[in-house]
Structure 1
């Protein structure tokens, strides 16, 4: 009997106008999104390769100059410094996340480590009318289509009188509801799966991305989470349909719930977290570090005046004062990072009251463009600056110990020069991290279906 009910729902769904509209929208939106995002990725990759080659040649020109020391000093003290480049993530084709929000270059010199973006060279309309990725389409459009696909599954049949006839034949209500859920969801999931397969085929055929095991696994996980996310809104639509007795009422309630869950809760969560966990501004942090530098400088000057001629002892005291000052600045930076991490964690937890947030967080983490990308970038920038500073002082010490000459021709190599290296988490580690959001989507699914079942048991079909 259950198979007959499922077959009935599939036939009714496939032959309906909404199925045709949904099928076309899924295909058009997904393929257009992947097409535009693929073109954007190819452009970003070309720019990265050109920029990396140019900056690599800058390092080579310094090391191969007739006077490398002079060339080095010209760049570090009077020039633009050296650059590190961040490569785009291939999976940003499907979920761009924070990919286009982070700088593409990092400028490093003796005075500072400064992220540099090339947005000023781009068409400003790209910011006003950003290309939607697949995650955006699934989060906004497909979730709405899922609700519109099922909002009248129960109340609509009641208005047509077919539900009363079906239950008059002593068909169990639990089988009726289960058949509607399985058959209706398969009718909705099939077009989405077909659109995803077509999009992946396009990516493979264009050769824009090297499709390896990691890329394929991440895509399959994103597709699986998408199908699970759609099932949440399908189950929610079933619940709304069992709570109402008119299709028009169910439609209004569905739109209201969709607006709250998609637009209101995820956007209010960061605001609430910002009020609950205050994070000092960067200007305040820099002002505090500047105050520490002034105190350190005063201490060094005091040692120089009071211990003039003490030689080694004065030098040791000066080094100790500078180490203490650096330790204070490190504590200030650590305090800022801790407060920011607490605010981000609270924002994520508050936003998870909506399945939309769980889907976005899981999809972006699986693609490697989520919050972890922001953390990895900041870590890479900090490590890049430390490695460059260490490399420079080592070179400077060797240079002066060798009486102003390079130690030997092969002492400095281009491939040994510090570079901006961003570590990417292994897929199994990412899966462990997103498992909580995936389980939340499963809980939403089960909860909505159980509530639908409880209300449908008492549903008046007359």
Structure 2
């Protein structure tokens, strides 16, 4: 292969590496593209094309899908909805029912510190729920480990341990919420109603409704606007090139220089427009995710997506890897051209670049890798907020329980 063809055609499709833990949380990957591509699409003149640019296609999962929508029951669903509801059902009457029956008065009549009683109720609920949950996880992993399609390596087991810790922390949060409400009311029925209403608001209503509302405050560039601006840019570029080319008739060296400049200009403006559209789309998603962070289930889902390797954060890592590879690919072309003393060093024109053949094995290859350290950085805010919610609820429970009248 010659250097000019490599520089012009680009690397082609760059695919996202699938996650081995997809069964834990799909993260809405079906709505995110699994590849980006780099090709040359800007025709400046009959014999002149811009170099390849990065493009980010959209995902259209429902175009050919005529089946009814169903809820996918994965770890994210079980932890986010089922586990939190079980925690509420285990704790809604932990204190209020004993106040109704008078057993709490008898218990506190002895020399038992109130915080000991509270810790006992908290640990009792935690152990009662976490033991069957842990057994269910091990059974699930045992079945999955028998499959040859899923490789559970050391890195995957580390991520599974982190996911388990996040699930237990999320469970603790709802146990603390249940104890707080149970210690604040005297009637178990009222406690259950309040907890179910709170659960519906923060687990079901806020994640879906607030995301839709927040996305309405940001309007990214539509594809019609994108193609309109793209066609206008190409039209202006062609007009500038034709005007400047008329001034270089008979000057071959000057024409090569102008061709090189306009190849670079066409490539730059094409990629800048694609990047602008991508940036606006990312900003809209980030706004919606920021607003829904008020919901614990959203925080938990974000954390699961990060450590599972699916969802929006994973897609951003993929895009960063794609853009880093694009820089490496272009630097490779530039370095190969500079290394040839016979080259005229006009990147973008076949006559102005190195004519030496290029070994295909020396061309950089795209590697989309997972990074645990980067995942921790991406999860820092969500993890902090989840811990903060638990600390606030547990502190409120303690302060309320030590003042409760029996």
TM-score (norm 2): 0.78
User: Against the structure 1 CA distance between its residues 412 and 152, is the aligned structure 2 distance closer, same or farther, given a 3 Å change threshold?
Assistant: same
Please tell me whether residue 433 in structure 1 is matched to residue 378 in structure 2: yes
CA–CA distance in 1 between the matches of 2:65 and 2:281? 32
CA–CA distance in 1 between the matches of 2:192 and 2:206? 20
| Deviates further, 443-452 or 327-336 | 327-336
Do 1:153 and 1:180's aligned partners in 2 also have CA atoms closer than 8 Å?
yes
CA drift of 1:184 comes to 1.8
| Deviates further, 106-115 or 284-293 | 106-115
Q: Could you tell me which of 71, 89, 94 is aligned with 2:24?
A: 94
More helix by share: 1
Matches within 5 A, 1:314-393: 314-379=255-320
Do 2:30 and 2:61's aligned partners in 1 also have CA atoms closer than 8 Å?
no
CA drift of 1:361 comes to 0.9
CA–CA distance in 2 between the matches of 1:275 and 1:235? 34
CA–CA distance in 1 between the matches of 2:187 and 2:390? 24
State the Cα RMSD in Å. Answer: 3.8
Please tell me whether residue 204 in structure 1 is matched to residue 145 in structure 2: yes
CA drift of 1:447 comes to 1.1
CA–CA distance in 2 between the matches of 1:154 and 1:119? 48
CA drift of 1:381 comes to 5.5
SS in 1 for 2:22: helix
Please tell me whether residue 246 in structure 1 is matched to residue 198 in structure 2: no
**Alignment-derived partner of residue 177 in structure 1:** 118
Please tell me whether residue 224 in structure 1 is matched to residue 165 in structure 2: yes
Please tell me whether residue 283 in structure 1 is matched to residue 192 in structure 2: no
Measured against aligned partners, the alpha-carbon deviations of 1:274-299 in whole angstroms (never above 9, x if no partner) come to 34444322332332222111111111
CA–CA distance in 1 between the matches of 2:278 and 2:110? 65
CA–CA distance in 1 between the matches of 2:230 and 2:66? 35
SS in 2 for 1:144: helix
Please tell me whether residue 165 in structure 1 is matched to residue 110 in structure 2: no
**Alignment-derived partner of residue 423 in structure 1:** 369
Q: Could you tell me which of 73, 76, 88 is aligned with 1:147?
A: 88
CA–CA distance in 2 between the matches of 1:302 and 1:309? 15
Q: Could you tell me which of 442, 445, 461 is aligned with 2:387?
A: 442
CA drift of 1:305 comes to 3.4
CA drift of 1:390 comes to 9.7
CA–CA distance in 1 between the matches of 2:57 and 2:221? 20
Do 1:362 and 1:437's aligned partners in 2 also have CA atoms closer than 8 Å?
yes
Q: Could you tell me which of 199, 203, 215 is aligned with 1:274?
A: 215
User: Against the structure 1 CA distance between its residues 291 and 174, is the aligned structure 2 distance closer, same or farther, given a 3 Å change threshold?
Assistant: same
SS in 2 for 1:92: coil
CA–CA distance in 2 between the matches of 1:291 and 1:344? 28
CA drift of 1:195 comes to 1.4
**Alignment-derived partner of residue 34 in structure 1:** none
CA–CA distance in 2 between the matches of 1:390 and 1:435? 33
CA drift of 1:139 comes to 0.6
Measured against aligned partners, the alpha-carbon deviations of 1:70-119 in whole angstroms (never above 9, x if no partner) come to xx9xxx9xxxx965554421011212214333345666654385759795
**Alignment-derived partner of residue 77 in structure 2:** 136
**Alignment-derived partner of residue 302 in structure 1:** 243
CA drift of 1:418 comes to 7.2
Measured against aligned partners, the alpha-carbon deviations of 1:111-155 in whole angstroms (never above 9, x if no partner) come to 385759795898643x72253211121111111111111111111
Measured against aligned partners, the alpha-carbon deviations of 1:388-411 in whole angstroms (never above 9, x if no partner) come to 89999999x9xx88xxxx988xx6
CA drift of 1:300 comes to 1.1
Do 2:30 and 2:59's aligned partners in 1 also have CA atoms closer than 8 Å?
no
**Alignment-derived partner of residue 30 in structure 1:** none
CA–CA distance in 1 between the matches of 2:281 and 2:13? 27
TM-score (norm 1): 0.69
**Alignment-derived partner of residue 213 in structure 1:** 154
SS in 2 for 1:128: coil
CA–CA distance in 1 between the matches of 2:111 and 2:165? 37
CA–CA distance in 2 between the matches of 1:329 and 1:270? 31
Do 1:98 and 1:373's aligned partners in 2 also have CA atoms closer than 8 Å?
no
Do 2:56 and 2:278's aligned partners in 1 also have CA atoms closer than 8 Å?
no
Q: How many residues align?
A: 375
User: Against the structure 1 CA distance between its residues 453 and 387, is the aligned structure 2 distance closer, same or farther, given a 3 Å change threshold?
Assistant: closer
**Alignment-derived partner of residue 459 in structure 1:** 404
SS in 2 for 1:458: coil
Do 2:76 and 2:304's aligned partners in 1 also have CA atoms closer than 8 Å?
yes
